[in-house]
Amino acid sequence: MNSEEIIYITPLAKYQMKWDEVEDVEMDLQRGNLIFYSDNRNKRLAVLGPRNWSGEEREDMTRLLFNETKRRQIKLKSTIKATLTMSKNSKLR
């Protein structure tokens, strides 16, 4: 994650969404999952949330997430469904 885009890499695929596309962000109640939604909800990116982050950059990534949502006036809300939602139309080919 950086100020331009969110990239999520799994053993099976690589997913990406530009911050300019993000309209809403949902986080589960335990902060274990994040869902980034496009403005028309046709695209979404599901990633592990701050609770699951580790390493030296954990605090920097958490700060970046909250700074970008605030700077871009993106709604960030806690929901139960963020635990069960999967990515859609964000897989890189």
Structural domain count, the chain: 1
Indicate the pTM of the whole model.
Answer: 0.91
- Residue 22 in domain: yes
Statement: residue 72 has pLDDT above 90: yes
pLDDT, residue 41, reads 87
- Residue 32 in domain: yes
- Residue 39 in domain: yes
- Residue 88 in domain: no
- Residue 93 in domain: no
pLDDT, residue 93, reads 75
Statement: residue 91 has pLDDT above 90: yes
Q: Count the neighbouring beta carbons within 10 Å of the beta carbon of residue 41.
A: 10
Looking at per-residue confidence, does 65 or 41 come out higher? 65
**Burial of 7 by CB count in 10 Å (0-12 exposed, 13-18 middle, 19+ buried)?**
middle
- Residue 92 in domain: no
Question: What range does the domain containing 46 cover?
Answer: 5-83
Output the domain CATH number for residue 65: 3.30.720
Mean pLDDT of the chain: 94
